[in-house]
Amino acid sequence: MVDEQIDEIIQRLTEIPASAATARGSRNGSNSTELFDIEMDETPEGLDAVNRFLADRDWSDGIPVIPPTPAAVERMMKATKRPPQDVLMVMEPGFGLGTVEKIAINAVMAGCRPEQFPVLLAAIDCLAKPEMNHRDMQVSGHTEAPIILVNGPIAKKAGINFGTTAMGPGVINSANTAIGRALRLCLINIGYCNAGAGDPNFVGLPTKFGMCIAENEEVSPWQPYHMDLGYKREDSTVTVVTVTGPTTIIDPRSKTHEDTLNNIGSMMFYPNAGGGNWLKGWDSAQIGHTNRRMPYQGPYHPIILSPSRAVIMAEAGMSKRNAQEWLHQNCRVSLKSVLSKGTIPSDAEGKWVHHPELQHLSDDPEATIPALESPEQYLLFVTGGSTHYANFFYGTYGIATTPVEEI
């Protein structure tokens, strides 16, 4: 990564850049944001001047943006009580300070409206938590991306579509698209995670442009996800999970709840989808810019169910927890395959450090264990229109949920 960038690094450090734009604002170390004057006119080149200016500096996701004028950014920041220079997180790998103002600039560029800004801020609050392992997500060559899951009244207030084509294109999904895209622009522009440079993702996936959905709480037969965590129905929350995928679950012939669950369970073939690695202990993530680390449970697999699939299970008398426990018990891996991938941590007496109660199974060549450690790692989230399809996302790191600021 460095080899490919070193010539440009030297050039940027040793030459004064020639710019078509005139910079104005403070350069004396204060918190004032640098502003740029860009000349626009009615010609095709003039109308595209802002996007060409951003593209020259690699400050975009490659899709035309809304010009982040000072007035538009100021209007966006009125949707929060947080001060403009309040730092929500340090974004890696470039150690950019994720201030409210910088986030607002990217929100404007992505096409967000002020009523959607609190959702984006909550998503970044989630990403700032150590268990999200945000740095590894940013610099991984794997096709990983954050998915934003929204619960509560904020979904309607922000205009998020939770019905038919909730993860697709179209005007009906403008809020979903803008919020997801805004988070990606922040990761690019504040975190300096640009394609081909900070982001070494070898192939990539369209999901890296942004993903944001809300639960269809009105038609779901189960309580919404945030209530599973202890929040009240009237609370608004945002959950962020780092995922790869998705894989589509085609479920047209299911007549029973077990048919649907078997189809979901068949998605667990992916080697890194858990694979019983919990026997070796939890993963850990660095806490900020310290030498301390914290353990976190993972991965969490979001299973995006259409309402009709949830209804099939509910009519069979299954609660969401019942469905999760079914998946936990029936999605299994060979213990032999887990042992073949490395030794299990043991103490001085040879006893397994994690889950010693299962060590006796190591002598049984036919023994199996659950692919994931606990049932809640199968995150059932009901959204979209009524259909026999569903999406299975493979989680990679931890998960975080935070309330949405209401003003």
pLDDT, tens digit, for every residue of 56-67?
Answer: 988 999 999 999
Closest CA to 265 of 375, 397, 128, 155: 375
User: What does the block give as tokens for 240?
Assistant: 């962020």
Residue 24 confidence class, pLDDT cut points 50, 70, 90: very low
Closest CA to 385 of 245, 216, 225, 229: 216
Q: Which residue blocks in 209-319 are alpha helix, DSSP H?
A: 225-228, 257-265, 307-315
Q: Is residue 55 part of a domain?
A: yes
Higher pLDDT, 304 or 3: 304
Tens of pLDDT, residues 264-313: 888 877 766 788 999 999 999 888 778 889 999 989 999 999 999 899 99
Residue 142 confidence class, pLDDT cut points 50, 70, 90: confident
SS3 label, residue 335: helix
Segment 122-145 mean pLDDT: 90
User: What does the block give as tokens for 198?
Assistant: 């900070």
Q: Is residue 31 part of a domain?
A: no
Specify burial of residue 397 (Cβ count, 10 A radius: 0-12, 13-18, 19+): buried
Q: Is residue 24 part of a domain?
A: no
Residue span of the structural domain in which 73 resides? 41-331+371-400
Tens of pLDDT, residues 79-119: 999 999 999 999 988 889 999 999 999 999 999 999 999 99
CA angle, residues 188, 407, 242, in degrees to nearest 5: 35
* 229-252: b (≥16 Cβ within 10 Å) or e: eebeeebbbbbbbbbbbbbebebe
Average pLDDT value over all residues in the chain: 89
Q: Is residue 338 part of a domain?
A: no
The residues, ordered by sequence, that sit 6+ positions from 95 with a Cβ below 8 Å of its Cβ are 192, 289
The whole-angstrom separation of Cα 18 and Cα 6 is 20
Closest CA to 157 of 200, 122, 133, 195: 122
Per mean pLDDT, which range of 17-21, 26-30, 34-38, 297-301 is the poorest? 26-30
Q: How far is CA 249 from the centre of its chain?
A: 21
Most confidently modeled range among 10-19, 117-126, 265-274? 117-126
The residues, ordered by sequence, that sit 6+ positions from 263 with a Cβ below 8 Å of its Cβ are 249, 250, 251, 254
State the pLDDT at residue 7.
86
The whole-angstrom separation of Cα 363 and Cα 68 is 63
- Helices (H) and strands (E) counted in the chain, each on its own, are 14, 14
Q: Is residue 313 part of a domain?
A: yes
**Residue 90: HSE in the Cβ half-sphere, 13 Å Cα cutoff:** 9
State the pLDDT at residue 355.
95
State the pLDDT at residue 186.
97
Closest CA to 159 of 212, 122, 104: 212
Specify burial of residue 29 (Cβ count, 10 A radius: 0-12, 13-18, 19+): exposed
93 C-beta neighbours (distance < 10 Å), count: 17
Q: Is residue 351 part of a domain?
A: no
Q: Is residue 140 part of a domain?
A: yes
State the pLDDT at residue 272.
67
Percentage of residues of the chain with pLDDT beyond 90: 61
Query: What is the domain count for the chain?
Result: 1
State the pLDDT at residue 1.
64
pLDDT at 42 over 90: no
| 246 prior amide bond cis, ω within 30 | yes
Largest CA distance in the chain: 78
State the pLDDT at residue 31.
58
User: What does the block give as tokens for 278?
Assistant: 């919990």
User: What does the block give as tokens for 256?
Assistant: 């029973």
The answer to whether 368 and 329 are in contact (CB under 8 A) is no
Q: Are strands 378-382 and 301-305 parallel, antiparallel or unpaired?
A: parallel
pLDDT at 34 over 50: yes
Say what angle helices 117-127 and 174-189 make with each other, to 10 degrees.
50
State the pLDDT at residue 23.
43
Q: Is residue 380 part of a domain?
A: yes
The whole-angstrom separation of Cα 264 and Cα 243 is 16
Q: Which residue blocks in 211-276 are alpha helix, DSSP H?
A: 225-228, 257-265
State the pLDDT at residue 224.
97
Q: How far is CA 151 from CA 158, 159, 217, 403, in A?
A: 11, 13, 8, 9
pLDDT at 19 over 60: no
